[in-house]
Amino acid sequence: MNASSSSQPLISLRGVRKSFGPFEVLRGIDMDIRKGEVVAIIGPSGSGKSTILRTINGLTPINDGVIMVGEIKVNDPKVDKVKLRHRVGMVFQQYNLFPHKTVLENVAMAPIQVLKEPRSLVEERARKLLGEMRLPDKADSYPGELSGGQQQRVAIARALCMEPEVILFDEVTAALDPEMVKEVLAAVRKVAEDGMTCILVTHEMGFAREAADHIYFTDKGLIVEHAPPAEFFTRASDPRTKEFLSKVL
Amino acid sequence: MGDANVLARVLDWMPFVLTGFGLNVLMSLLAIAIGTAVGTFLGLGQLSQPLIIAVPSRLATQLFRNAPWLVLLFYCIFLMPYQVGIGGSVIVLPSWLRATIGFSFPVAANFSEIVRGAVNSVPRGQWEAAEALGYGRQSTLFRIILPQCVTRMIPPWMNLYALLLTATPLSVIVGVEEALGRTQAAVQALSDSRMLIPMYLALLAMFFIYAWPINRLSLMLERRFRTK
Amino acid sequence: MIADIQTFFRHLADSGINLTIFYDAFDFERFITGLGNTLLLILLCSFFSIVIGAIGAAVLTLSKGLGAAVVRGYVALFRNTPLLVQMYFFYFAIGSIMPVTKNDIGLPVPLLGSFSWAVISLSLYSGAFNVETFRSGVGAVHQSYEEAALALGYSRMQAFVSVTVPLALRFSFASLANNLVDLTKATTVAYAVGVAELLYVSNQIWSDSLNTIEMMNVMLLIYLVLTGAVVFIINRIETAMRLPGFGLGGV
């Protein structure tokens, strides 16, 4: 505990605010995520969980506050987006694989086209990642030929292939049938166990409890409380957290 | 010659050209009326079950939809009689009227497709629900399906009208003295090549001012119906 | 063989169906020239109108300022005015202020002839429709695909070119086929500025040989075959580019 809190956080958010028109979705968010940590963000729908993730890799620009990823200041309008997105990977709820590219191309195209890495090297890495995601024989299929769970594992491999320092998981199981949730969660757990820094927005309380080092609870654009899972699920102090947990557990 | 002079000379000829434009509007209104009436029958014909009606309706629709407007115009001008006798009286068909009939064919074919598309866009479940309630095919079509898709047919119908209006100057080729023909006559009378561009721009503006609001309105209605 | 065909159509002519193009060498040659010019118009104008449509849609998607306003103005103007008046405007009005060169024997020759003006006019007219087709194709691509590319470090331009465009193209085929059929039909308007295309030569032939009905029917048949061919070709391309599991309805 002491050792980790003294080290510099990999990602920090300070006073982050974001409005969509008159509607304020983030009303001052502070977070610190250290290297190798697995953080789960939970909370009711519309509480701004996904928006937090999207501000970290700059997909959603913020109105106020500071976001740092390593030494990169994300809210700087002149930020080097390629460098930022090399370090921060993302997996989406709807997978968002490119339907006109094969599985292997989906995984390998960004490192080749964006990071300008040599094709042979990237494709070798992509095949290895597909193997780890237990999809070694799907390299030449198109996304439309795969099940939702398989597509989501390809999306995880695609994020990993950029060799990022942190991966954002945005409700990655929410669009899946129940029987596929397990295979995708197993894949996410493997990524976490291999030492990747992970930030997950999830509705899977059981998974958050087992896999996360730290839980953040958001409600109406604010972080109501945060704690390690054992503490969070047994001794939540805020009434809003208690009410939420009583509904979902 | 100053710019003001050019403008004055264009304006001088505008009443003459606008009278011709009136003929464009008249032809377009008549052709859309005939085309919509015939197109409704063709469209319902395409949807009807007896093949003896469906197949000819489909063939006629495809024929008149894929034939160039100008070719259909030539058919009507060259092959239609100059006058028809009904009973004892003889009705003379002036070329603008024969051209109007020529325009009605592609309009009917396009409207036939609009009807078919609109009816097919109603979910299958509506037909099944009506059948389950004891409606026959005819009454399902007229009482359940068509009332739902009339609003959906209005925007493409308006687009079709704007398209028809911008096609009417083709009739100048077969000798109808509409706005384009009158512009050519005016340009000839002016016999000044500097007047060519202003006169043609004025003619383009005339059509634009008439057709653009129709297309805009159609787009607005389409958006409104879609969100319903 | 050719002699047999000619003999057959001569006999047919005696029985009232006079298709001079199948036995008279002069009419046959005129007819083939007209058909060739029509095909050339279709090919050239299809190409240029698709290029115009693609550029216009790209400008509308990627820019919000002056460029987009210019493209919107262009589309509105060309869609809401008659093609024939546009063509006359180009050929007679703009043509009147174009430089004139002299040929070998010193006669004045306009820099652009009627064929060139017809190609320009038809391409601009059809291009305006293609801008809207490709623009709505881009609109049909869910923005999550672009976002996924951005999250992988692609710039907006890169994401547009390598993700949005290939998918947008697949949403555009039906409407594009429609536009190209309309273009094929519209090539007849080049008749009005004296381009010797199919309608023009057919008109010449039936004026000389007095076989109006026969020539009109032949001509109509050819246009139906041409529009059918356009649809067939686009459908073939669409099928070849179809993606497994990626339908028009799904995201």
Per-position DSSP letters for B41-87, written without gaps between them: HHHHHHH-SSHHHHHHHHHHHHHHHHS-HHHHHHHHHHHS-SEEEET
CATH number of the domain at C224, please.
Answer: 1.10.3720.10
Alpha carbon distance C152, A92 (integer Å):
12
Looking at chain C, which residue has its C-alpha nearest residue A56? C151
Instruction: Please say whether the beta carbons of B47 and B119 come within 8 A.
Output: yes
The conformation of residue A47, written as its DSSP 8-state character, comes to: S
Least confident of B83-92, C56-65, C201-210: B83-92
In the structure, how many helices (H) and strands (E) does chain C have? Answer: 11, 2
For chain C, say whether A145 makes contact (Cβ under 8 Å). Answer: yes
Alpha carbon distance B200, B10 (integer Å):
10
Identity of the residue in B68, B187, B196 whose CB atom sits nearest the CB atom of C223: B68
Instruction: Please say whether the beta carbons of A38 and A213 come within 8 A.
Output: yes
Looking at chain B, which residue has its C-alpha nearest residue C89? B200
Q: What percent of chain C has pLDDT over 70?
A: 98
Q: How far is A243 from chain C (nearest CA, A)?
A: 33
Alpha carbon distance C33, C27 (integer Å):
10
Instruction: Please say whether the beta carbons of A55 and A33 come within 8 A.
Output: no
Q: How far is C173 from chain A (nearest CA, A)?
A: 16
Q: Is residue B106 part of a domain?
A: no
Instruction: Please say whether the beta carbons of A143 and A106 come within 8 A.
Output: yes
Sort A249 into a burial class: Cβ within 10 Å, 0-12 / 13-18 / 19+.
exposed
Q: Is residue B95 part of a domain?
A: no
Parent domain of B123: 3-81+112-224
Alpha carbon distance C92, C110 (integer Å):
11
Q: Tell me the chain C residues in contact with residue A158 when contact means C-beta distances shorter than 8 Å.
A: 152
Q: How far is C65 from chain B (nearest CA, A)?
A: 21
pLDDT at C247: 59
- DSSP, collapsed to helix, strand or coil, labels residue C110 as strand
Give the DSSP H or E segment for C117: helix C114-140
pLDDT digits (tens, 9 = 90+) for C41-65: 999 999 999 999 999 999 999 888 8
Q: Tell me the chain C residues in contact with residue A98 when contact means C-beta distances shorter than 8 Å.
A: 145, 148-149, 163, 167
pLDDT digits (tens, 9 = 90+) for C127-153: 999 999 999 999 999 889 999 999 999
Could you tell me which of C34, C200, C46 has the C-alpha nearest to residue C122? C46
Written as six digits, the tokens of C125 are: 């007219």
Identity of the residue in C85, C188, C227 whose CB atom sits nearest the CB atom of B66: C227
Residue A150 clears pLDDT 50, i.e. is over it: yes
Instruction: Please say whether the beta carbons of C168 and C141 come within 8 A.
Output: yes
One DSSP character per residue, A96-127 reads ---TTS-HHHHHHHHHHHTS---HHHHHHHHH
Q: How far is B52 from chain C (nearest CA, A)?
A: 23
Could you tell me which of A122, A120, A99 has the C-alpha nearest to residue A109? A122
Enumerate neighbours of B (3 or more CB pairs within 8 A): C
Q: Is A110 within 8 Å of C145 when comparing Cβ atoms?
A: no
C99: left (phi > 0), else alpha (psi -120 to 50), else beta? beta
Mean pLDDT of chain B: 90
Residues of chain B whose C-beta is under 8 A from some C-beta in C? Answer: 63, 66-71, 74-75, 78-79, 162, 166-170, 172-173, 180, 184, 187, 193, 196-197, 199-201, 203-204, 207-208, 211-212, 215
Parent domain of C37: 8-12+21-240
Give residue C250's pLDDT band: very low, low, confident or very high (50, 70, 90): very low
Q: Is A99 within 8 Å of C167 when comparing Cβ atoms?
A: yes
pLDDT digits (tens, 9 = 90+) for B202-214: 999 999 999 999 9
pLDDT at B2: 64
The average pLDDT across C156-169 equals: 91
Amino acid at B96: W
pLDDT at C23: 83
Number of domains in chain C: 1
- Could you tell me the CA-to-CA distances from A143 to A94, A152, C91, C166, C244 in Å, in that order? 12, 10, 51, 15, 8
Q: Is C147 within 8 Å of A99 when comparing Cβ atoms?
A: no
Q: How far is B130 from chain C (nearest CA, A)?
A: 26
Residue B1 clears pLDDT 70, i.e. is over it: no
pLDDT at B227: 64
Number of domains in chain B: 1
> Which residues, 6+ apart, have CB-to-CB distance to C82 below 8 Å?
B166, B167, B168, B169, B170, B180, B207
Q: What percent of chain C has pLDDT over 90?
A: 63
Touch criterion met for A and B (3+ Cβ pairs within 8 Å): no
Q: Is A98 within 8 Å of C153 when comparing Cβ atoms?
A: no
Q: Is residue C44 part of a domain?
A: yes
CATH number of the domain at B59, please.
Answer: 1.10.3720.10
Interface test with B, best of C78, C88, C224 (most B CBs within 10 A): C88
pLDDT at C103: 77
Identity of the residue in C155, C163, C170 whose CB atom sits nearest the CB atom of A98: C163
Interface test with A, best of C152, C154, C160, C170 (most A CBs within 10 A): C152
pLDDT digits (tens, 9 = 90+) for C188-200: 999 999 999 999 9
Looking at chain C, which residue has its C-alpha nearest residue A84? C153
The average pLDDT across C92-119 equals: 84
How many residues does this entry show for chain B? 228
Amino acid at B153: M
The average pLDDT across A88-97 equals: 91
One DSSP character per residue, C147-180 reads HHHHHTT--HHHHIIIIIHHHHHHHHHHHHHHHH
Mean pLDDT of chain C: 90
Residue B13 clears pLDDT 80, i.e. is over it: yes
Mean pLDDT of chain A: 90
pLDDT at A3: 42
Residue A2 clears pLDDT 50, i.e. is over it: no
Please state, as a whole number, how many other Cβ atoms lie within 10 Å of the Cβ of residue C231: 17
Instruction: Please say whether the beta carbons of B58 and B51 come within 8 A.
Output: no
The average pLDDT across C82-92 equals: 95
Identity of the residue in A59, A114, A142 whose CB atom sits nearest the CB atom of C244: A142
Alpha carbon distance C196, C38 (integer Å):
8
Instruction: Please say whether the beta carbons of A48 and A63 come within 8 A.
Output: no
Beta bridge partners of B91: B84
Written as six digits, the tokens of C234 are: 């686009």
pLDDT digits (tens, 9 = 90+) for C12-21: 888 778 888 8
Q: State ipTM.
A: 0.91
pLDDT at A233: 87
Looking at chain C, which residue has its C-alpha nearest residue B178? C85
Identity of the residue in C85, C97, C189 whose CB atom sits nearest the CB atom of B200: C85
Q: Is residue C249 part of a domain?
A: no
Enumerate neighbours of A (3 or more CB pairs within 8 A): C
Residue A209 clears pLDDT 60, i.e. is over it: yes
Model-level pTM greater than 0.80?
A: yes
Looking at chain C, which residue has its C-alpha nearest residue B78? C212
Instruction: Please say whether the beta carbons of A197 and A126 come within 8 A.
Output: no
Alpha carbon distance B202, C155 (integer Å):
45
Q: How far is B135 from chain C (nearest CA, A)?
A: 31
Alpha carbon distance C102, B204 (integer Å):
32
Strands of chain A (E only): list them. Answer: 11-20, 23-33, 38-42, 64-69, 72-73, 88-91, 166-170, 197-201, 214-219, 222-227
Give residue B154's pLDDT band: very low, low, confident or very high (50, 70, 90): very high
The average pLDDT across A220-229 equals: 91
Q: Is C85 within 8 Å of B207 when comparing Cβ atoms?
A: yes
Q: Is residue B131 part of a domain?
A: yes
Q: Is residue C247 part of a domain?
A: no
Q: Tell me the chain B residues in contact with residue C92 when contact means C-beta distances shorter than 8 Å.
A: 187, 196, 200
Q: Tell me the chain C residues in contact with residue A59 when contact means C-beta distances shorter than 8 Å.
A: 147, 150-151
Q: What percent of chain B has pLDDT over 70?
A: 98
Q: Which residue in the block uniquely carries the two structure tokens 């109007």?
A: B100
Looking at chain B, which residue has its C-alpha nearest residue C96? B193
Identity of the residue in C96, C185, C227 whose CB atom sits nearest the CB atom of B69: C185
The average pLDDT across B201-227 equals: 91
Identity of the residue in B74, B78, B207 whose CB atom sits nearest the CB atom of C82: B207
Identity of the residue in A94, A144, A158 whose CB atom sits nearest the CB atom of C246: A144
Sheet containing A38-42, strands listed edge to edge, beginning at the edge strand earlier in sequence: A88-91, A166-170, A197-201, A38-42, A214-219, A222-227
Q: What share of chain B is helix, strand, coil (3-state, %, to 5)?
A: 85, 5, 10
Q: Tell me the chain B residues in contact with residue C86 when contact means C-beta distances shorter than 8 Å.
A: 204
Q: Is residue B87 part of a domain?
A: no
pLDDT digits (tens, 9 = 90+) for B92-132: 888 899 999 999 999 999 999 999 999 988 888 788 777 77
**What is the CA C79 to chain-centroid distance, rounded?**
15
Q: Is residue B189 part of a domain?
A: yes
Name the phi and psi angles at A101, rounded to 5. Answer: -120, 145
